[in-house]
Amino acid sequence: MAASKLPYAALSFKQFLQRQKVLGIYRNILRSIRQVPDEADRKYLRDWAREEFKRNKMATDQDAIRMMVTQANNHLVELQKSLALAKS
């Protein structure tokens, strides 16, 4: 029997797509945080985002991950709305 060429810890296609979605949300949050005018607020929000994503890095339960993705999207939308109001 031929050995699989995939590493032992290879992600399934579904996990790969989910990982890409999470990384995209993380990048969008960091991009939005760059628009915050106050340096202290920017640093606080950047540290908060990094800590939240780092804390949940090892999560494997698909339902929990979906819930966290939904929460992250909600936080991103709220941040973008706040920034839009601040510019007005």
Domain boundaries, the chain: 13-87
The answer on pLDDT for 65 being more than 50 is yes
Q: What is the pLDDT of residues 35-63, one digit of tens each?
A: 999 999 999 999 999 999 999 999 988 89
* Residue 86 binned pLDDT confidence (cut-offs 50, 70, 90): confident
The answer on pLDDT for 9 being more than 80 is no
Mean pLDDT to the nearest integer, 29-36? 96
Total Cβ atoms within 10 A of residue 5 = 6
Residue 76 is predicted with a pLDDT of 96
Whose tokens are 């090892």? That residue is 58
Residue 2 is predicted with a pLDDT of 55
The two tokens of residue 85 are: 């109001």
